[in-house]
Structure 1
Amino acid sequence: MTNEKTADFFTSYRKISEMWEKGLNDFLFKAVDNKELIGLTKVGVDAHSRYVERLKRNHELIASYWNLPTKKDVANVAELTIQAEEKVDMLEQQIWSMQDAFAATFQEQQTLIQNVMEFNQQMHNELIKTAKGLSADVKKLGNEITEAADLKNIEEMREELAGMKEDLEEMKNLLKQAKVQPELAGSST
């Protein structure tokens, strides 16, 4: 039962609202259609706009004498503030992107430096290995040269000994001849 009363109330309220809306629309349409009212409204609006313009000029004049901000000044300041905030936001974004770029570049540099250090370490290790190998080769060559020099010295000594042997043989032969000749010289006397 209460649902029916509520529904009836809203239905009747809607009908009354529609009637009022239609009546007001008709009244406004007739009022706007009146040429005298339009002309009178135009004169009133023109007078009012001149009055408002004069008030604005006087207000700006008084504000300039007393150094007070006007609505226009406040609007300009608000606009400049908004522009400044937008520029600050843009700068912040640029700074963030630059920081990200710097971080990425720094990371790349660190990686590059690490790679260069590893390469240098490898080169150093290879240089040490090569130096040790060359040192061993130099020692071998030195030993071989020493052995070759020793062999040469031995060969020279052998030649000298051979020469001395020949000299000794000659001396022996000369001594034998010298012994044989005095015997020959003694037997012939």
Structure 2
Amino acid sequence: MENNEQVELYKAMKLAGFKVEQEINNWIKDQLNHKKIMEGTNIAGKYYVHAMKCVQNRMGHLFTHLNIPSKKDVTNIGKLVLQVEEKVDKVEDQVISLQQQVENLKNG
């Protein structure tokens, strides 16, 4: 009997929690659906993007003066390294092919 009561209590608590969660979610949605809030968020977002671009630009200038590579510089170096690796692989394949041709001519 006691175990059954605990199960019922758990089910009641779960149902009450679910209802409270739904009410809170609906309240949040209602608060976010106001046009003024969305307009304000949109304007704030534009200012934030502009501010971040300015910060990145200033950091780029600072890094240049301090002779420190920026994130963009490191990305470009990574791309160049990959290109060099591909070219080295091609040259290595050509050298192996030439070695085989020389061996064939010797044995030929």
Q: TM-score, normalised by structure 1?
A: 0.40
For residues 82 and 107 of structure 1, the distance between their equivalents in structure 2, rounded to whole angstroms, comes to 38
Alpha-carbon offset, residue 48 of structure 1: 0.9
For residues 70 and 54 of structure 1, the distance between their equivalents in structure 2, rounded to whole angstroms, comes to 15
Q: Which residue of structure 2 lines up, in the alignment, with residue 87 of structure 1?
A: 87
Rate the CA distance shift 1:92–1:34 in 2: closer, same or farther, 3 A: farther
Rate the CA distance shift 1:101–1:59 in 2: closer, same or farther, 3 A: same
Alpha-carbon offset, residue 33 of structure 1: 4.9
Q: Which residue of structure 2 lines up, in the alignment, with residue 107 of structure 1?
A: 107
Q: Which residue of structure 1 lines up, in the alignment, with residue 6 of structure 2?
A: none
User: Structure 2 matches for 1:16-165, cutoff 5 A?
Assistant: 23=22, 27=26, 33-108=33-108
Q: Which amino acid aligns with 2:52?
A: V
Q: Which residue of structure 1 lines up, in the alignment, with residue 4 of structure 2?
A: none
RMSD: 3.0
% same residue: 23
SS at match of 1:101: helix
Rate the CA distance shift 1:95–1:31 in 2: closer, same or farther, 3 A: farther
Unpaired runs of at least 5, structure 2: 1-10
Q: TM-score, normalised by structure 2?
A: 0.65
Across the two proteins, how many residue pairs are aligned to each other?
91
Unpaired runs of at least 5, structure 1: 1-11, 109-189
Alpha-carbon offset, residue 71 of structure 1: 0.8
